Amino acid sequence: MSSEEYVEEVPYAQRPEWSDMQPLELSEGVPVVSIQYFANHKEQLAYFRAVMAKGEKSERALALTADMIHRNQADYTAWEYRWQCLNELGKDMSCEYEFTDPIMADNAKNYQLWNHRRKCMLAQGSSAAQRELQVAEDALRVDEKNYHAWAHRQAAVQAYGGALWELELAFSGTMISKDVRNNSAWNQRAFAVQHQLREVAALGDAAASQRALTELIDRELQYISAKIELAPRNESVWNYLRGLFLLPGMPAHAMGLYEQVYVLCKEALLDAPSCPPALDVMSEYYLHLACVHAQHLAHLQHASPPSPADIDKAKASVQQAAQSATTLLNHLLISDPIRTMYWNHRQRDLDTLVASLGLGPDAQPAAAAAMA
């Protein structure tokens, strides 16, 4: 029922059950601009203030919150007080479906409504999870990017876990198949994968954790590759690829450890030459590869005794990766000129990395320095 359709039939002042309650009018002093309320809404507010002032959590107070919410579905205070009444009265939270379902049908993007449903779900326990997941799915059928519905699914899965994590990964895949550009669905997949990364980290055994991590990344890269083939210029999938290696649990510069990223970008550029997202991610791959080589270089420089030949080889690897990244950033200046300042910023970061390692154009090879 919408607020426009709702009509208060009997004034509260004429209701026997409210005869003992003195409404509390709002004292605004001398207002500059007064809010114009409908007469029945103004009366509801007066009785609601009186109820709150007394701290009354009763059946009539609960009914009053319903009237308040029907009048203004975004009334956060009314929703919160309703929640307090439900708890105080020991109500079965599943009974709230009858109250909230019509409101959701009227407006599935009501923040206060979803917040209330979430609290009711958590109060009921795992038995409510499937119903709430279905409610959110129904809302997503109407609007596949309804933030509130996606967040509600996350709340249910986080609260009750178990098999729900795998189901959510599958659900995100279903939604991505419907619309490969649905950022919300890609975000949900990242949410599920992040949980899997936590499970990998919790294995305890380093070798087992590494195997599980490799399998997970290989699986996701294959999935990403298939979606890029459908729409090479779709930034949603490229953002997911970039974000995959930034999730908690991923090693530093993990992207540079997986040559599949390079292969994936190369294949995309064959289908869509000068594709900015592919060039961007490939440049990031080379930047991370340069950092991986830089870490190896630091290890060699602190070895005892140091090997000048190995150090020079590692330096060359850093320089080669950095030069490849520079070449790609130069391509991006042409293919995506609107972000010229950003590409220049990326180049400065790259130059800073190279300079910090003493790998400028005048750098002397370690082997030659050792012979000097």
Domain boundary among 233, 251, 269: 251
pLDDT of residue 365: 60
Q: Using one digit for the tens of pLDDT, what is the confidence trace for 314-327?
A: 999 999 999 999 99
pLDDT of residue 372: 44
Residues 166 and 238 in one domain: yes
- 240: burial class by Cβ within 10 Å (0-12, 13-18, 19+)? buried
Residues 230 and 293 in one domain: no
Residue 83 inside a domain? The answer is no
Residue 190 inside a domain? The answer is yes
Entry field: residues in the chain: 372
Q: Using one digit for the tens of pLDDT, what is the confidence trace for 113-135?
A: 999 999 999 999 999 999 999 99
Mean pLDDT of 264-290: 96
Return all residues near 312 (Cβ < 8 A) that are at least 6 apart: 365, 366, 367
Residue 33 inside a domain? The answer is no
pLDDT exceeds 60 at position 72:
yes
pLDDT of residue 371: 42
Q: Per the structure, how many domains does the chain have? A: 2
pLDDT exceeds 80 at position 2:
no
Residue 372 inside a domain? The answer is yes
Q: Given the structure tokens 């440049």, which residue do they identify?
A: 283
**pLDDT band at 361; cut points 50, 70, 90:** low
Residues 244 and 302 in one domain: no
Residue 35 inside a domain? The answer is no
pLDDT exceeds 50 at position 4:
no
Expressed as residue numbers, the domain containing 336 is 284-372
Mean pLDDT of 200-207: 89
Residues 194 and 243 in one domain: yes
**Of 264, 267, 246, nearest in space to 255 by CA:** 246
pLDDT exceeds 60 at position 362:
no
Domain boundary among 209, 232, 251: 251
Residues 246 and 294 in one domain: no
Q: What is the pTM of this model?
A: 0.88
Least confident of 107-111, 175-179, 288-292, 297-301: 297-301
Per the prediction, the chain carries an average pLDDT of 92
Residues 295 and 246 in one domain: no
Please, what's the b/e burial string for 339-354 (b: 16 or more CB within 10 A of its CB; e: otherwise)? eeeebeebbeebeebb
Residue 145 inside a domain? The answer is no
| The two three-digit tokens of residue 32, written as one number | 């500059």
Domain boundary among 251, 272, 305: 251
Cα 203 to its chain centre, rounded Å, is 25
Please, what's the b/e burial string for 48-57 (b: 16 or more CB within 10 A of its CB; e: otherwise)? bebbbeeeee
42 is catalytic: no
Residue 38 inside a domain? The answer is no
Q: Using one digit for the tens of pLDDT, what is the confidence trace for 142-152?
A: 999 999 999 99
Cα 198 to its chain centre, rounded Å, is 16
Q: Using one digit for the tens of pLDDT, what is the confidence trace for 330-344?
A: 999 999 999 999 999
Catalytic residue among 42, 109, 266, 313: 109
